[in-house]
Amino acid sequence: MSTHLPSRAGDSPASPNAPALTSFVPVAADSHFPIQNLPFGIFSTESRAPRAGVAIGDCIVDLQILAEAGLICAADAAVFKQSSLNAFISQGRATTSAVRQQVSELLRHNNPVLRDNTSLRQQAIVPMSEATMHLPVAVGGFSDFMLSREHSLNCVDILGGGSGAGKLWPNWTYLPMAYNGRASSVVVGGTPVKRPWGQVVTPGESAPRYQPSQKLDFELEAAVVIGAGNALGTTIAIDNTEKHAFGVVLLNDWSTRDIQAWEAQPLGVFVSKGHRTSISPWIVTFDALEPFRIEGPEQSPPPLPYLDQQGLRNFDVHMQASIKPKDADAASVVCRSNLKHLYWSFAQQIAHHACTGCNLQPGDLLGTGTVSTSGPGGQGCLYEATRNGQQHIDLEQGGTRVYLEDGDEVELTAWAQGPGHRIGFGACTGTVLPADA
């Protein structure tokens, strides 16, 4: 739902998703950030305080500079000076789409406005190598869902419930399950992850010990970033959900499976999932993902009316997770998955979250939960891949893993493949540090 603005000198009114578009900024063929993407984030340099930017190739477009030069008129320049995107995305989908359209027009190869203004171009376009990325939004609320049927079935099987769809919880096919996580411990990708302490019951014992987790795990996830919120006490109709959705990030909800197993009964996870959650620094807009809509899995029984989404509800986005052990020369891919397999959609997440009148707010994160697929190598966490430590996995570059070891770097990445370009998310990384003594 792009908003098309009058074109600038030397440009055409083509959609920002048009495959033929090219930018005057060099973009490698395998880059995650072609002109058809233009994800938003927060960056800083030695001379610039944290502010809003857009990724293009190996560079960042400084939105504050462009707005102050009068080249972005869809939003006030003040929203781009802030250290989070919250004020910008709170203005809603029409405004954020209009800004993306204007940035797209300015970056096109045949538009001289920015291309031929050497002084302004040098101010406005910053090499990524000179920038530090920050958390893109101030996260007021974080809810983690369980949208993957394959992940859910694997967990039931490992817990001893047997395999087969009939073993899912009775409510699983009626609502997208979730729990409210800890928003204050959400960090930007690249932030180290210290192995946490907690209560653990070791095999053969009935009482817990307080010790470092020995079953630290990653989770291959994505998350919706809420843009414009809804008032407390109001709901969001399924057909209006994407007016409240700004974009999508990668999310790694680091898990301590041993701490989780002991504390989860009867109220569910708490400290075992509250120590660290990493998200990618770039938010890919729903506008950029629009060409990659795809039908989701059949939902049976049919969803209740408030969750009944018509049309193409899922997105064809390849995802993968890799582990690079300490001192290793290369990383090993340990999972390959795809968002298109999710049973419940982003829109259904939003509609269900707000169905009781819960007020979603700009910057809120709604995680998908672990995204798994059927077949070898499709398990989106080590808990599934090793059946909770009962078997090891072989790393492509040598060695084995049961759970994460100190010094391991985990990288999540994802992309949608277009004709001659990728709409990518970059990377969401984190290195495991030893527990405090």
- What tens digit of pLDDT does each residue of 29-82 get? 999 999 999 999 999 999 999 999 999 999 999 999 999 999 998 888 999 999
Q: Which of 25-29, 180-184, 202-206 has the lowest mean pLDDT?
A: 202-206
pLDDT tens profile 302-352: 999 999 999 999 999 999 999 999 999 999 999 999 999 999 999 999 999
Token duo for residue 398: 């040598």
Instruction: Classify residue 318 by its DSSP letter.
Output: E
What's residue 74's pLDDT? 82
Q: Please give the span between the terminal C-alpha atoms of the chain, in angstroms, as a whole number.
A: 53
Give the max Cα distance, the chain: 74
Residues 6+ apart with CB under 8 A from 266: none
pLDDT of 161 > 90? The answer is no
- For the chain, the structural domain boundaries read 40-134, 142-433
Length of the chain: 437
Backbone angles phi, psi at 10, to 5 degrees: 75, 10
pLDDT tens profile 370-405: 999 998 999 999 999 999 999 999 999 999 999 999
Of the residues 32, 109, 151, 353, which is catalytic? 151
- 40-134 matches 142-433 in fold: no
Q: Which of 156-165, 256-265, 268-277, 339-348 has the lowest mean pLDDT?
A: 156-165
Alpha-helical (H) ranges within 313-366 are 346-353
Torsion of CA 161, 167, 170, 173, to 10 degrees: 130
Residues 6+ apart with CB under 8 A from 206: none
Please give the model's pTM, rounded to 2 decimal places: 0.94
Q: Classify domain 40-134 by CATH architecture.
A: Roll (2.30)
In whole angstroms, what is the distance from residue 318 CA to residue 284 CA? 14
pLDDT tier at 166 (50, 70, 90 boundaries)?
low
The correct CATH number of 142-433 out of 3.40.50.150, 3.50.50.60, 3.40.50.1220, 3.90.850.10 is: 3.90.850.10
pLDDT of 143 > 90? The answer is yes
What's residue 221's pLDDT? 98
Q: Report in angstroms the alpha-carbon separations of 276 from 270, 281, 327, 392.
A: 12, 15, 24, 25
The secondary structure of 143-174 as a DSSP string is: EEE---HHHHHHHHIIIII-SSGGGS-TTTTT
- Mean of the per-residue pLDDT values of the chain: 94
What's residue 167's pLDDT? 84
Q: Does the active-site annotation cover 109?
A: no
CB atoms within 10 A of CB 330: 11
Q: Report in angstroms the alpha-carbon separations of 175 from 145, 172, 238, 273, 341.
A: 10, 6, 13, 22, 17
